Amino acid sequence: MESGRGTGLLLLPALALVLLAAHFLHAGLWPVAAVCLASIGLAGVRRPWAARVLQSLLVIGAIKWTLTAAALAHMRAAHGQPYVRLLVILGVVTAFTLLAAFVFETAPLQQRFGLDRNAPSRGERGR
């Protein structure tokens, strides 16, 4: 039986992907938003590839947040508008998205997705 800690950690990637979906939805990119939301289902696939796909999406999402922050701050600065608060908010969102990617490196999720390097491989378990 799995501890609730591993399952609870999966709330971070799920929330980060919902935030990304909202961002893409606001930009009118419905298909990309749908991919973000659908990818949350990968949290139920207990395979190493599923964890790595989620991690990759989250890292790409953090890059997208960084690019968005830079573009919006540049636009606001060009119009003489304040932009520091925007940078702080999107910086926190970027950090949260990276944290969500990092949770797959914790022991509970390493075990859940079969990423634990110290655990016996599938072929060795039955021996």
CA distance 57 to 45: 15
pLDDT attached to residue 116: 76
For 109, how many CA atoms within 13 A lie in the half-sphere containing its CB?
24
pLDDT attached to residue 120: 56
pLDDT attached to residue 3: 54
pLDDT attached to residue 119: 57
The SS3 call for residue 125 is: helix
pLDDT attached to residue 7: 80
Those residues of the chain that have pLDDT short of 50 are: 1, 123-127
The model scores a pTM over 0.75: yes
Contact status, residue 112 vs residue 46, Cβ threshold 8 Å: yes
Q: Which residues contact 53 (CB under 8 A, 6 or more apart)?
A: 39, 42
